[in-house]
Amino acid sequence: MNELNDLFPNITLASASPRRYKLLQQIGLKFIVSPSQIQEPELDGKNIEDIEKGVQELALKKADYVAQKQGTGLIIGSDTTVVFQSKSLGKPKGRFEAKRVLNMLSNGQHRVLTGIALIDVNRNKRKVWCEGTNVFFRSLTDTEIEDYVSSGEADDKAGSYGIQGKAAVFVERIDGCYFNVMGLPLASLVQEMRILGSSSM
């Protein structure tokens, strides 16, 4: 990713997510982390179009918060949620809720939405978009759900699971970007960074 590091010598990830951190490291980006302090509103009860708009707005708020604090460079903001039957399933408030969510997702399809915001502070340019991935779960047993939730993996995950961990065995197939389910759609992120960088030259 030398090309992107040259285009954007100062990149900041506006997220404390260890998964997003690892994904950016994986593709060789040089960046620092400065988590935003934006409160995440509830998106429950809205239709999918509203949820898509909501994750984009929240990603932009996160990026904008850090952009105002940093005052320079490229800021990457993002927000991920799981949508089941047009309802947003964020991070569980407790393990009882995590079990309830996994029971709902068992033997069915849900959609993972990630809103991404890029703010190029130096050139006063920005790009915001949403990416969706359909995920299909096999039928889960009560014991599997209990063991998974007891492991603690569900605690800080949208939809109460992480595809990159023990819950990998829950997934029959996906339609869309795998990395989007982890919190950052890498292919579209790199593409949009290139477009933003080239349009600024």
Write out the catalytic residue numbers: 79
Beta bridge partners of 98: none
- CB count within 10 Å of CB 195 equals 12
Q: Return the exposure string of 27-65: e unless at least 16 CB atoms fall within 10 Å of the residue's CB, then b.
A: eebebeebebebeeeebeebeeeebbebbbebbbbbbbb
Q: Quick one: which H or E segment has residue 130?
A: strand 125-137
- CB count within 10 Å of CB 128 equals 17
Amino acid at 23: L
Torsion of CA 95, 99, 104, 105, to 10 degrees: 90
- For residue 16, the SS3 value is coil
Check if the beta carbon of residue 48 is closer than 8 Å to that of residue 85: no
155-41-43 Cα angle (round to 5): 85
